[in-house]
Amino acid sequence: MPRLQPYTLLLLLIISLPALANRFANVEINATPLADNLYMLTGSGGNMAALVADNEVILIDAQYAELADKINAKLAELSESKALGTLINTHMHGDHVNGNSALMPKRIIAHANVLKRLTADQAFPRKGLPTETFTSQLSLNLNGQKLRLEYLPPSHTDGDIIVWFEDKNVVHMGDMMFEGRFPFIDLNNGGSVRGYIANVAYVIANIDDQTKVIPGHGQLTDKAGLQRFHQMMVRTLAQVELMQAKGMSNEQIVEAGLGEEWQQWHWNFITEERWINTLLQAEPLTK
């Protein structure tokens, strides 16, 4: 293949810039009311939640910097132009934290491991780093609006938290749930297959049939939806382990697949093949 000359590379870059700039041009930020002053927000990236307090807005996750103006406009519409005071990051992935600095909150709260990993990323804007961290649980009472941030052991990453809106029977799962699809378990950033499954079971045990569950990706759901998600993971892991017990190689397991039952869970990022390869890296059961 011939080597491209510098001016050719520059031309290709110039041509590609409009496409990059327009990536979010048609994205709309939509709000779904969940309870008094509480909304689920969707756009591009991880689902957000906005809680309107007396003198500020509390936002869960930040999506992308390019969407900051649209997000702030939606928050102003929902809150009669109250300022964004507290931003909470559920974990460290870009589609949840990329907009941190652009949204310009007064403070950013995350688990200590999120600060550690984002600090190590030299490309991440320093103004977007969490300003407050915790390691286990953190309760917030913001003008009568109560939230509890709870760290879950390594699962999606090693810095995941869920957000309990305690007076509203709503929980934001972050990427501890991908509604209706195979989840992404980031093994390179402290993720754990068995930890993920155990954490979802823990949340199921602590909610009721009326709890509204905000997934990191996908549609608003409930306890039954979370149970379906959990059963998918338990049963597909069992399938993979059974094939391993029969002596099948990783390549043979991928080729065999998981069967028709789970085809609807396949999506463009975590395909069936990628999910199987994730399950193949599950930690062995301890005796």
Judge whether 184 lies within some domain.
yes
Which of 12-26, 225-239, 243-257 is predicted least confidently? 12-26
Judge whether 268 lies within some domain.
yes
Judge whether 47 lies within some domain.
yes
Report how far residue 193's alpha carbon sits from residue 283's, in angstroms, rounded to the nearest whole number. 7
Q: Please check whether residue 159 is in contact with residue 56, taking contact to mean a CB–CB distance below 8 angstroms.
A: no
Tell which wins on pLDDT, 6 or 194.
Answer: 194
Q: Which run of H or of E encompasses 97? A: helix 94-97
Q: Which pLDDT tens digit goes with each residue over 40-73?
A: 999 999 999 999 998 899 999 999 999 999 999 9
What is the mean pLDDT of the segment spanning 22-49? Answer: 94
Judge whether 20 lies within some domain.
no
The number of folded domains in the chain is 1
Task: Supply the mean pLDDT for the chain.
Answer: 92
Cα angle 211, 80, 107 (rounded to 5 degrees) comes to 70
What is the β-pairing status of strands 84-88 and 57-60? Answer: parallel
Q: Which run of H or of E encompasses 228? A: helix 223-245
Judge whether 24 lies within some domain.
no
Judge whether 286 lies within some domain.
no
Q: Please check whether residue 85 is in contact with residue 58, taking contact to mean a CB–CB distance below 8 angstroms.
A: yes
Which residues on adjacent β-strands are paired with residue 33? 39
pTM for the whole structure = 0.91
Report how far residue 204's alpha carbon sits from residue 244's, in angstroms, rounded to the nearest whole number. 29
pLDDT number for residue 145: 85
pLDDT number for residue 2: 44
What is the mean pLDDT of the segment spanning 233-253? Answer: 98
Domain with 98 in it: 29-279
What is the mean pLDDT of the segment spanning 248-258? Answer: 98
**Token reading at 203:** 């949340």
Measured in residues, the chain has a length of 287
What is the mean pLDDT of the segment spanning 190-198? Answer: 98
What is the mean pLDDT of the segment spanning 265-272? Answer: 96
Judge whether 284 lies within some domain.
no
Q: What sign does the dihedral 210-214-219-224 (CA atoms) show?
A: negative
Task: Look up the CATH number of the domain holding residue 80.
Answer: 3.60.15.10
| Whether the predicted pLDDT of 20 surpasses 80 | no
| Whether the predicted pLDDT of 16 surpasses 90 | no
Judge whether 126 lies within some domain.
yes
Secondary structure letter of residue 257 according to DSSP: -
